[in-house]
Amino acid sequence: MSVPLSSSKQSTVFLLRLCLLKPQTSAIPYYPLHRHLSTEPNPPPQDEESLINEAVQLFQVLEDGNSSSTQLHQLLFSSSSPSSPGIFRQITRRLASSSQALEFFDYIRSNSPSRELTSLSFTFQAIFELASREPDPQNKLLELYRTSKERNIPLTVNGATLLVRCLGRAERVDEALAVVDELDPSLKNTHFYNVVVALLFRSGRIVKALNMLDEMLQPGADCPPNDITGDVVFAALSRREWCGRSISDKEIVGLVSKLLQQGVFPDTFKLTQLITKLCRKKMIGLAWDVLHDVMKAGGTLEAASCNALLTGLGRDGDFERMNTLMTEMKEMDIQPNVVTFGILINHMCKSRRVDEALEVFEKMKGVSGLSVEPDVITYNTLIDGLCKVGRQEEGLTLMDQMRSENKCMPNTVTYNCLIDGFCKAGEIERAQELFDQMNKERVFPNVITLNTLVDGMCRHGRITSAVQFFDEMRSKGLKGNAVTFTTLIKAFCNVNNIDKAMELFSQMSKDGCSPDAIVYYTLISGLSQAGRMDDASSVVSMLKEAGFCLDIVCYNVLIGGFCRKNKLDKAYEMLKEMEQAGVKSDSVTYNTLISYLSKTGNFATAHRVMRMMIKDGLVPTVVTYGALIHAYCLNGKIEEAMKIFRDMSSSSKVPPNNVIYNILIDSLCKKNEVELALSLMEEMKAKGVSPNVTTYNAMLKGLRENNLLEKAFDLMDRMVEQACNPDYITMEVLTEWLPAVGETGKLKNFVQGYEVSVSTA
C-alpha cells in the first residue's frame, strides 16, 4: 500500500516553493505562482499532521473493503478529535485521485450531516485541485462542477478560478464564462478578476474585459487592481495582434491612467513592449502619452522604454519630440545607453543630418563614467551617412579614427559603405584602391562589395572592367548573385550588346545562381527594346517555366516591342494573356496601343481604344493626346490634330506641353498656316510653356516663306530675352533670309545679343 505523498515528494515541493520565493531580482515574473502558493495554509501542526496521515491510510484501507469504518469514524467525528476547520480539506488533498476524494467527500457528508456548507465547499475545492492535476482535467472538472451543483455545494472562489483557468487554457471560453456568471458575486476577489480579465482579452472579448476592468477600477471597488492586474492589462495592450475588436486610443490611455492612479505601474519590460507595439501601429502620439503618464505618476523609467519611443519618433521623423524626450531623460536622470545614441545617430544619418549626427557622436564620446563606447555599428552608421551625402572623404577619415582612437577595426560593412560612396561619386579608382586595402587588411569582401563595384563600373561606362572584375572575383571563389547578373545584363542591354547579355544570362545558370524575376524582366525589356521579339518571347517562356509571372511593366515592354515590329496580332495576344492573368492594363499600355494605331493611320481604332481607356477608369495623359496629335500631323490631318488639341484643353484638364506645341507649330508652318502657328506661340507664352530652339526654327521658317519680317524680329528678341541659343538651323534660315532683304544689321545685332548675354552670364 502506498502513502499518497511520500516524504521525498514533500521535500521537492518544499524546494520548489523556496525557488519561487527568491528575492525580487529575478527577471521572470513569478508573482502569479507566488500568489497562488501564498493562499495555501501553513503546514498543519504535528498532532494534526499525524491525524491526517492516519485518516488517509484508514480511508484507503476502508476503500479496499478490509476494515470496518469504526476506526475512521472515531478518528474523525468523536468529540475528542481536533476539529480544525480545514482538516477535511487537508485529508482530501492527500488522497490518491479525485474519484477517491469524491468518495471521501460523500463519506463525510453522510456521516456528519451537520457539517456547515463552507467547510464542505472547501473540501470540494480540494477535489478540484486533485482533478486539475489529472489527465483530461477540463472534462473532469466540468463533471465535478455538475456534481457540486447536484449536491448543492456552492463553489469557492479558488475552485471557480481553477475551473475558469483550466477551461480557458483549453479554449473552452463559453463554458468558462458560464462558471463566472454562476459564481456568487460576493465571493469574487481580485485574483479571480485577474484570471477572467486575462481570459477575456486573450479570447478577443474586449468589451467584456474592459467592462470588468472598469468595475475593478472604480474608486472603492471591492476588488481593486493589483500588480497582476497591471501585468494582465499591459500584456494584453502590447500583444502584437489584437484578436477581436481593436482597443481604441482613448480606452488605452484611460486604462493606463486609471491603473497608474491606483498605484499599479508597468515594469520596464511591459512598458517597453507596449510602447514598441503602439509605435509599430503608428500610434506614436499614444505611445508618447503612455510614457509621459508613467513619468508623471512617478513610475520608474529606464532607458529601454525611452529607446522604444525614440525609435518610433525617429521613424516618424519627429525630431523635435526626440529632442524633448532626450532633455527629459537628462532631467530625470535616466542614463542613455549605447542603444539610445545609436538610435539618434542612425535617425540623423537616415534623414541626412550628418552634422547633427557627428555632434551627438562627439557628445557620446564625452560621456564619462558610462559604458558608452562607440562600437563598429555606430561608426558604420556615421560613415554610411557621410557617404550617402557625398562626403566620402570624411567617411574615410572617420575609418582611420576608428582604428586609432577606439581600436575598433573596420569590417566588411565599413568598406562597403565607403566603396559605394566613391562609386557613386564616379571615383572608381579610389573605390578599387579601397577594395585592395580591404584585402590587405584581411577584411573579406562579400557579394555586396562585388555588386557595389560592378554597379559603379557599369554606371560609369566601364562595362568591360566590370566583367573583368567579376570574372576575377569568381575565380577567387566570390560568386555573384542575381543582382550582379541583373546589373551586368542591364548594362549590356543599354549599350545594345544583346549577345553579351544573353551570354551572361546563360552563364548565370551554369554558375548555379538561379535567375529571379528581375533578371528575366531586365532581359525581356532589353530584347524588346532591341526589337528582338523572338528572343524576348523565348525568355518569356523560360520565365514562365521557372514559375514566375509577367508584371505590367513587362507586358507593356512586350506590347511596345511587338507594335514597333508591326505585329499587332502578337500585341493583342499579349493583351488577352494579360487579361487572363488578371493584370490590369495601365495608361502606358493604352498609350502604347494608341500611339501605334494612330501612327499607322488607324485612327478609328485608336479612338476606340481611347474610349476603352476612359471606361477603364484611366485618364488620357498628355502622352495619349500627343500621340494622336503627332499622328494626325504626320498624316497631314492638321484640322483633326487641332481638334484634339482643343478638346484636350477644354474637356480634359491636361495642359499641353512643349512637345505637343512643337509638333503643331511645325506642322502648321509647313502647311503655311503661319497665323495660327503664331497664335499658338502666344498661347504658349500665356500658359508659361517655354518654346525651345526647335519651336523657334519651325516658326522662323514659316515666317520666311511669308516674308513676315516684323514678326521674325519679335521672335528673335524673345530668343535673346529667353537666352535660348540659336543652333545651326536658326543661323541657316536667318543668313539666307535677312541679308537678302537688306536686314544685315538686325542679324548682326542678334548675334551680338548672344555675345553680350554670354559674357554677362
Ligand X SMILES: *[C@@H]1O[C@H](CO)[C@@H](O)[C@H](O)[C@H]1NC(C)=O
Query: Which residue lies nearer to ligand X by CB, 25 or 66?
Result: 66
Cell numbers linked to 673: 498656316
Q: How far is the CB of 696 from ligand X (least distance, A)?
A: 10
Could you say which of 90, 662, 667, 730 contacts ligand X (CB under 6 A)? Answer: 662
Binding marks (x or -) toward ligand X, 609..648, rule CB under 6 A?
A: ----------------------------------------
CB closer to ligand X, 335 vs 692: 692
Q: Cβ of residue 100: shortest distance to ligand X, in angstroms? A: 15
For ligand X, the closer of residues 663 and 708 by Cβ is 663
401 touches ligand X by CB under 6 A: no
Is the Cβ of residue 356 or residue 732 nearer to ligand X in the bound state? 732
- Specify burial of residue 625 (Cβ count, 10 A radius: 0-12, 13-18, 19+): buried
Site string (415-454) toward ligand X, x via CB under 6 A: ----------------------------------------
Backbone angles phi, psi at 669, to 5 degrees: -65, -40
The binder of ligand X chosen from 478, 518, 634, 659 (CB under 6 A): 659
Between residues 201 and 661, which has the closer beta carbon with respect to ligand X?
661
* Residue 58: CB minimum distance to ligand X, A: 14
The minimum distance between CB 61 and ligand X, in angstroms, equals 8
Interatomic CA distance for residues 274 and 289, integer angstroms? 12
Question: Among the candidate windows 82-90, 115-123, 190-198, 657-665, which touches ligand X by CB under 6 A?
Answer: 657-665
- Min dist CB 694 to ligand X, Å, is 4
* DSSP string across 32-97: HHHHHHHTSPPPPPHHHHHHHHHHHHHHHHHHHT-S-SHHHHHHHHSTTS---TTHHHHHHHTSS-
Q: How far is the CB of 663 from ligand X (least distance, A)?
A: 8
| H-helix segments, 152-226 | 157-169, 173-182, 190-202, 206-217
Going by C-alpha positions, the residue among 401, 430, 424, 399 that lies closest to residue 412 is 399
**Nearer CB in complex with ligand X: 283/693:** 693
Closer by beta carbon to ligand X, 555 or else 632:
632
Q: Which residue number, 24 or 68, has a Cβ lying nearer to ligand X?
A: 68
Task: Give the residue with the Cβ less far from ligand X, 443 or 720.
Answer: 720
Binding window for ligand X (CB under 6 A); candidates: 19-27, 378-386, 547-555, 654-662? 654-662
Q: How many CB atoms lie within 10 A of CB 513?
A: 17
Contact call for residue 568 and ligand X (CB under 6 A) = no
577 with 551: CB under 8 angstroms?
no
Site for ligand X in 674-693 (CB under 6 A): 692-693
Burial 160-197 (b: 16+ CB within 10 A, else e): bbbbbbbbbeeeebebbbebbeebeeeebebbbbbbbb
Angle ∠(314,317,319) on CA atoms, nearest 5 = 75
Q: Which of residues 53-72 bind ligand X (CB under 6 A)?
A: 64-66
Write down the least CB distance from residue 659 to ligand X, Å. Answer: 4
Residue with cell 477535489: 127
Nearer to ligand X, 378 or 730 (CB): 730
Residue 92 is a binding residue for ligand X (CB under 6 A): no
C-beta of 532: minimal distance to ligand X in Å? 27
| Nearer to ligand X (CB atom), residue 480 or residue 691 | 691
Length of the chain: 761
Say how many C-beta atoms besides its own lie within 10 A of residue 659's C-beta: 15
Binding string, 339-368, against ligand X, x = CB under 6 A?
Answer: ------------------------------
Chain positions 253 to 292 lying near ligand X, rule: CB under 6 A, are: none
Contact call for residue 728 and ligand X (CB under 6 A): no
Residue with Cβ nearer ligand X (439 or 690) = 690
Q: What is the x/- site pattern for ligand X, positions 9-48, by CB under 6 A?
A: ----------------------------------------
Closest distance of CB 692 from ligand X, Å: 4
The least distance separating ligand X from the CB of residue 60, rounded to whole angstroms, comes to: 11
CA-CA distance, 669 to 211, in Å (whole number)? 81
Nearer to ligand X, 548 or 661 (CB): 661
Number of residues located near ligand X, criterion CB under 6 A: 9
Instruction: Give the distance between the most distant pair of CA atoms in the chain.
Output: 147
Q: CA geometry: angle at 725 spanning 719 and 726, to 5°?
A: 85
Alpha carbon distance, N-terminus to C-terminus of the chain: 112
Select the residue interacting with ligand X from 448, 658, 729, 731 (CB under 6 A): 658
Residue 637 Cβ vs ligand X, minimum distance, rounded to whole Å = 21
Give the 3-state secondary structure of residue 272. Answer: helix
Smallest separation (angstroms) from ligand X to the CB of 626: 10
CB of 66 to ligand X, least distance (A): 4
The C-alpha cell at 179 is 462558471
Query: Which of 190, 406, 437, 694 touches ligand X (CB under 6 A)?
Result: 694
Burial 273-312 (b: 16+ CB within 10 A, else e): bbbbbbbbeebbebbbbbbebbbeeebebebbbbbbbbbb
Residue type, 120: L
Using a 10 angstrom Cβ sphere, with 0-12 exposed, 13-18 middle and 19 or more buried, the burial of residue 65 is: exposed
Cβ–Cβ under 8 Å, residues 537 and 568: no
709 lies in the site for ligand X, by CB under 6 A: no
Residue 610, sorted as left (phi over 0), alpha (psi -120 to 50) or beta, turns out to be: alpha
Which CB, 47 or 64, lies closer to ligand X?
64
Q: What are phi and psi of 144, to 5 degrees?
A: -65, -40
Binding site for ligand X (CB under 6 A): 64-66, 658-659, 662, 692-694
